[in-house]
Amino acid sequence: MKKEHPLFLCIKNSYLGQSWLVILLSIFFGFTLSGVQAFLQEKIDTNKSNQSMRIVPTLVPGAVTGKSVTVGDLTVYEALNQNNKRAGWVIPARGQGFADKIEILIGLTPDASSLSGLSVLNQKETPGLGSRITESSWLSQFIGKGTTDSLTPTKNPVPSKNEIRAITGATISSFSICQIVNENVKKFRAELRKQQADP
């Protein structure tokens, strides 16, 4: 057997000598993926906003179409009725769920005093447990809830005014949705108030 030079062996057994291929591939794939993202992100965002536009009328009663507007530094959808008058608001919101970021749309009444609908756009929660946050039977309990107080999830079968019945086995996902709604509605109400006070 050929004896290898000690220096060569030293390099071969070093951290870099073992893992250089993994490192090079990571860099290569990293650049490829950022290229793909830079190239496609715009189109994906358009798809998403088209999708949101289609959902807008289902979140605000009486709305037939939506229009993207800026309130303060937030970009939201203004839901319009047949006469092109404001029927409500739809806020796109996102936040951390149990597994990954959850993206939702929050429907609000014109004065933003209560919720008029909720829809989950994107989630990667545990299938069968956390993924039940997309079910309309669960989401419908948000409709009509006031926005002055924060919503909290509860295990109580008969939830009180500002409580949301949590999904069995998915306490964190339920909590996340409440949290996302609370935070974003509060932010939006603050911006809306600012705009109305100083048009």
Partner 1 sequence: MSKENPTALERFIWGIIPENPIFRQVLGTCPALAVSTDIKAALTMTCATAFVLICANTIISLIRHLLKPHLRIVVFVLTIASFVTIVDYLLAAFYYSMSLQLGPYVPLIIVNCIIICRCEVCASKQSVGVAISDAIGQSLGFGLALVSMASFREILGSGTWCGFRIMPDSWPNWVLMLLPPGAFFVFGFLIGAVNWFTSLKKNKSS
Least distance CB 63 / partner 1 (angstroms): 22
In whole angstroms, give the CA distance from residue 57 to residue 55: 6
Q: Contacting partner 1 (CB under 8 A), which of 33, 135, 150, 193?
A: 33
CB-based contact 90:107 (threshold 8 Å): yes
Q: Is residue 22 part of the contact set for partner 1 (CB under 8 A)? A: yes
- Nearer to partner 1 (CB atom), residue 123 or residue 147: 123
Q: By rule CB under 8 A, what count of residues binds partner 1?
A: 20
In whole angstroms, give the CA distance from residue 170 to residue 124: 13
Q: How far is CA 39 from CA 2, 23, 143, 168, in A?
A: 51, 24, 39, 41
- Nearer to partner 1 (CB atom), residue 48 or residue 165: 48
- Nearer to partner 1 (CB atom), residue 40 or residue 190: 40
In whole angstroms, give the CA distance from residue 181 to residue 176: 9
Instruction: Please list every residue from 38 through 57 that binds partner 1, using CB under 8 A.
Output: 40, 43-44, 47-48, 50-51
- Nearer to partner 1 (CB atom), residue 32 or residue 150: 32
CB-based contact 105:115 (threshold 8 Å): no
**Structure tokens of 61?**
């009663």
Q: Contacting partner 1 (CB under 8 A), which of 9, 10, 11, 37?
A: 37
- Nearer to partner 1 (CB atom), residue 3 or residue 43: 43
Q: Is residue 14 part of the contact set for partner 1 (CB under 8 A)? A: no
String marking each residue 116-155 x if it binds partner 1 according to CB under 8 A: --------x--x----------------------------
- Nearer to partner 1 (CB atom), residue 118 or residue 151: 118
3-state secondary structure 6-40: HHHHHHHHCHHHHHHHHHHHHHHHHHHHHHHHHHH
**Structure tokens of 76?**
């939201």
Q: How many CA atoms lie within 13 A of 45 on its CB side?
A: 6
Residues of the shown chain interacting with partner 1 in the complex, contacts defined by CB under 8 A: 18-19, 21-22, 25-26, 29, 32-33, 36-37, 40, 43-44, 47-48, 50-51, 124, 127
